[in-house]
Amino acid sequence: IYTNLIYREEDPIKVMGLVILIDDITEIRKLEKIRSEFVTNVTHELKTPLTSISGFVETLKSGEIEDEETQRRFLEIIEIETERLTRLINDILTLSEIENIKNKESKSMFNPSKALKEVESMMRPMASVKGIEFYFEIPGKLSYIKGNEDRMKQMVINLIDNAIKYTPNGGKVSFIIYERYGQLVLRVKDTGIGIPEKDIPRLFERFYRVDKARSKKMGGTGLGLAIVKHIVISMAGKIKVHSAGPGKGTEFVISLPRHQ
């Protein structure tokens, strides 16, 4: 709140008026808080693998470890942590790109079929390695959507990647896309570990994980769904999650406005 008394020029004792300016800064404060929490989280997330890398490098450098097998194990850990850092940095950059150039990014009308077929050929081998049954259905004819084709591809990849990650061997992952009431509906469904209802409202927050240890073991960065949410928003779409609870699978449903 800003206040200022206005005095009469010829008689400074007399008050002529009072200006009160009330600015609602709730939203600004909220954004500032989100930003500062993000910086704290990023710092923490980057520091963890770095601490581990420098610890193992120091130990190897000291020459104390003579056993070759142990040396190799340490090098493998360094490699895994380096890869984690790379993924983390890539995801942070992607997120900030989507946020910052949301409106400027090149958007065009495109038929999603081609990009989705590419997604299928990328993801099928990943599912197959885990012995997961992979069902992928694109109808012969699909309307156009407006947005950035690469981003749309990334959105579907992130969801299918999660579905495969969080579904135990022998489970099932499916992707379908169809048109309904002027919308293109995309559904990614799995028979995996499911998501407890209490976690669903926070799922799309950056670095939010239901089970941090499991996410890290799976190589997750905690940013995949935040990226998905921002891409959906940039395409004027909506995203919903359904999960029948732990162990009962999960389904993500995206609807995007269709263009004739």
Choose among 249, 112, 250, 252: nearest CA to 179: 112
Question: In this structure, how many other beta carbons lie within 10 angstroms of the beta carbon of residue 93?
Answer: 10
Out of 154, 191, 221, 255, point to the residue binding ligand ADP (CB under 6 A).
221
Residue 223 in contact with ligand ADP, rule: CB under 6 A: yes
Out of 112, 132, 171, 190, point to the residue binding ligand ADP (CB under 6 A).
190
Which part of the chain contacts ligand ADP (CB under 6 A), choosing from 55-63, 138-146, 215-223, 231-239?
215-223
Residue 162 in contact with ligand ADP, rule: CB under 6 A: yes
Residue 193 in contact with ligand ADP, rule: CB under 6 A: yes
Give the C-alpha separation, 190 to 173, whole Å: 4
Out of 151, 153, 187, 209, point to the residue binding ligand ADP (CB under 6 A).
209
Residue 149 in contact with ligand ADP, rule: CB under 6 A: no
Out of 112, 147, 171, 224, point to the residue binding ligand ADP (CB under 6 A).
224
Give the C-alpha separation, 121 to 253, whole Å: 21
Burial class (CB in 10 A: 0-12, 13-18, 19+), 6: exposed
Identity of the residue, 29 or 248, whose beta carbon is nearer to ligand ADP in the bound complex = 248
- Helical pair 68-100 and 224-234, crossing angle rounded to 10 deg: 20
Identity of the residue, 221 or 255, whose beta carbon is nearer to ligand ADP in the bound complex = 221
Identity of the residue, 114 or 217, whose beta carbon is nearer to ligand ADP in the bound complex = 217
Exposure string over 37-59, b if 16+ CB within 10 A, otherwise e: ebeebbeebeeebeebbeebeee
Give the C-alpha separation, 133 to 130, whole Å: 9
What is the torsion angle, in degrees rounded to the nearest 10, for the CA atoms of residue 51, residue 54, residue 60 and residue 62? -110
Which is it for the CA torsion 153, 96, 202, 146, positive or negative?
Answer: negative
CB of 91 to ligand ADP, least distance (A): 8
Bridge-based pairing state of the strands 144-147 and 250-259: antiparallel
Choose among 186, 208, 190: nearest CA to 199: 208
Residue 191 in contact with ligand ADP, rule: CB under 6 A: no
Which part of the chain contacts ligand ADP (CB under 6 A), choosing from 74-82, 94-102, 121-129, 217-225?
217-225
Q: Return the SS3 of 74.
A: helix
Residue 220 in contact with ligand ADP, rule: CB under 6 A: yes
Residue 166 in contact with ligand ADP, rule: CB under 6 A: yes
For residues 106 to 145, the per-residue mask of contacts with ligand ADP, x marking binding by CB under 6 A and - elsewhere, is: ----------------------------------------
Number of chain positions touching ligand ADP (CB under 6 A): 21
The residues of the shown chain that bind ligand ADP, judged by CB under 6 A, are 162-163, 166, 190, 192-193, 195, 203, 208-211, 215, 220-226, 250
